[in-house]
Amino acid sequence: MSQEESDISLIIAQIVQKLKGSNLYAQLERQAWASLQRPEIKLESLKEDIKEFFKISGWEKKLQNAVYSELSVFPLPSHPAAPPEHLKEPLVYMRKAQGSWEKRILKSLNSMCTELSIPLARKRPVGEQKELLNKWNEMGTDEPDLSLFRPVYAPKDFLEVLINLRNPNYENGDSLSFRTHLGLIQVPLKVKDIPELKECFIELGLNTGQLGIDDSTQVPPELFENEHVRIGQKVLAEQDSAAAQQYVRQGSPTALRAELWALILNISSQPEDILYYEQLKTNVIQHDLLVDSLIYKDVKLTASNDDYYFVFEDYLYQVLLCFSRDTSVLSHFAYNSASPPKSYIRGKLGLEEYAVFYPPNGVIPFHGFSMYVAPLCFLYHEPSKLYQIFREMYVRFFFRLHSISSHPSGIVSLCLLFETLLQTYLPQLFYHLREIGAQPLRISFKWMVRAFSGYLATDQLLLLWDRILGYNSLEILAVLAAAVFAFRAVNLMEVTSLAAAEAVLADLSTLKVMPLLQIFLFATVT
């Protein structure tokens, strides 16, 4: 067997192994058994007839979607000699940096725990459980005293860690030379330049219709919009994930967006999924976690103060509290450079049988975490579906925005991509901002960490997230950040301090995302 063939069979074996434990496998089995009753299934050609039946009834398409989903999310099987840490993150110094950052977070959480004398987790007394169940749909009306709680960390703390990231094998000399990075990020990761980005984001080109540009009121809908909506309806009728992913690269019509995103993320609301969500809700009611207070505080500080999202406050609690109890999220740590925090049952320190993860999903929320969920509330109103969509978006994309890794969509690469784009295509602006002590990354970091949620108007944000799903990559966030700087370049050239630069870029709510991206990538003279 050639090397390629053995690689493919390894991938196939891995995917089959993963799908065997899933719901879809049980359903396919049941369907196959039920189909034996059908007249067209003959015993002599059983295998072929059942395959044909699957094709006609749409089950083959569901299987295709599941395989496509596995391929998009999980990295390819690595070299047999590579240890599991290598799959999480191949570069040793980044693993170490992530480890020490995690240790800092744990120390911070532990000290909060001991200072406030609040346990990490406790079982709720029955009376409290009943109370919480009664006000499950209106947890926002609760006003617990959260003044003593503080967020475990904020994006700017994380930025400091990234600024200090150094490769020990890299020439980090003091004298300025061709090898010095003029921005804040000092690690030499490979990032795309504009010709490569043009190739990658080819569907955003000037000759291709876009929602966000070609559906504005001045453009007659017959030119692009009507046809695009018609194609979208066809894609939904076919229920094909790969086609949907290709389709949303040009934007998704508002009416079809919820279904299209669910199709791309391969989410279908089965009774088992609703049951699973109810189980998580029971877990929330039974156990009270310290992390819950952090979530409350975060929602109160961010989403509740936002003009667009404050109406969804109750939904946010319902999603985020259940998210913390969901152990299925632990499987994403196989390809995430981060690791879930561990703890032991009281009194059983060091005994492996009593080791547990805390919180159960291994993710400690930081300041602004609830903003990942808030925009989704516009699309999904049923809590279990909203929950599934958020969870899938988190384990595919959002986790990369707050862990240290060398992945092209990781936050380190995004920061370097932003700085490189700005330096290469707006050198005067970059130099000026650097001279006045306003390194551009200090302003744009918070936009990228939140995937622009809370900074853009919601319809623009959803158009941006369409492209994230369509291209299965977060690089568009760095490109948009550079495009925003390019747009406000004239004003920025006149400022003389970091505070003034922040003021120029404080309000992004009037920006139109797609024209900015198109101009920056395809219409800027270099």
Contact footprint for another protein (CB under 8 A): 2-3, 17-18, 20-22, 78-79, 81-82, 86, 90-92, 103, 106-107, 109-110, 113-114, 119-123, 167-171, 179, 187-190, 276, 279, 283, 287, 325, 327-328, 330-331, 341-347, 349, 353-358, 360, 406
In this structure, what token pair is assigned to residue 389?
A: 């969509």
Minimum CB distance to another protein smaller for 478 or for 508:
478
Minimum CB distance to another protein smaller for 122 or for 156:
122
The helix/strand/coil state of 287 is strand
Tokens 């797609």 sit at which residue?
A: 514
The helix/strand/coil state of 227 is helix
In this structure, what token pair is assigned to residue 515?
A: 């024209």
In this structure, what token pair is assigned to residue 279?
A: 């189980």
Minimum CB distance to another protein smaller for 208 or for 331:
331
What's the closest the beta carbon of residue 276 comes to another protein, in angstroms?
Answer: 8
Minimum CB distance to another protein smaller for 285 or for 519:
285
Minimum CB distance to another protein smaller for 192 or for 228:
192
What's the closest the beta carbon of residue 20 comes to another protein, in angstroms?
Answer: 5
Amino acid at 94: M
C-alpha to C-alpha distance for 272 and 164, rounded to whole angstroms? 46
What's the closest the beta carbon of residue 168 comes to another protein, in angstroms?
Answer: 8
What's the closest the beta carbon of residue 298 comes to another protein, in angstroms?
Answer: 19
What's the closest the beta carbon of residue 110 comes to another protein, in angstroms?
Answer: 5
C-alpha to C-alpha distance for 137 and 141, rounded to whole angstroms? 10
Tokens 């920061």 sit at which residue?
A: 415
In this structure, what token pair is assigned to residue 360?
A: 């159960």
C-alpha to C-alpha distance for 356 and 287, rounded to whole angstroms? 14
**CA-wise closest residue to 50 among 63, 34, 27:** 34
Cβ atoms of 504 and 441 closer than 8 Å: no
What's the closest the beta carbon of residue 190 comes to another protein, in angstroms?
Answer: 4
In this structure, what token pair is assigned to residue 65?
A: 């979607």
What's the closest the beta carbon of residue 399 comes to another protein, in angstroms?
Answer: 18
Amino acid at 320: L
C-alpha to C-alpha distance for 408 and 479, rounded to whole angstroms? 13
C-alpha to C-alpha distance for 51 and 356, rounded to whole angstroms? 43
The helix/strand/coil state of 174 is coil
Q: Give CB contacts under 8 A, 24+ apart, made by 105-108.
A: 105/152, 105/153, 105/341, 105/364, 106/341, 108/152, 108/153
What's the closest the beta carbon of residue 18 comes to another protein, in angstroms?
Answer: 6
C-alpha to C-alpha distance for 77 and 7, rounded to whole angstroms? 8
DSSP for residue 519 = I
Minimum CB distance to another protein smaller for 330 or for 498:
330
Q: How far is CA 9 from CA 118, 167, 170, 256, in A?
A: 51, 36, 38, 37
Minimum CB distance to another protein smaller for 105 or for 242:
105
Minimum CB distance to another protein smaller for 269 or for 331:
331
What's the closest the beta carbon of residue 66 comes to another protein, in angstroms?
Answer: 14
What's the closest the beta carbon of residue 361 comes to another protein, in angstroms?
Answer: 8
Could you tell me the sign of the dihedral formed by the alpha carbons of 155, 324, 63, 53, in that order? negative
At what angle are helices 155-163 and 411-425 packed, to 10 degrees? Answer: 70
What's the closest the beta carbon of residue 2 comes to another protein, in angstroms?
Answer: 8
Element housing 160 (H / E): helix 155-163
- The count of C-alpha atoms lying within 13 angstroms of the C-alpha of 380, restricted to the half-sphere facing its C-beta, is 24
Minimum CB distance to another protein smaller for 167 or for 239:
167
Minimum CB distance to another protein smaller for 90 or for 253:
90
What's the closest the beta carbon of residue 188 comes to another protein, in angstroms?
Answer: 5
What are the start-end ranges of the H helices in 41-146?
46-57, 59-73, 84-88, 92-116, 126-134
Minimum CB distance to another protein smaller for 163 or for 489:
163
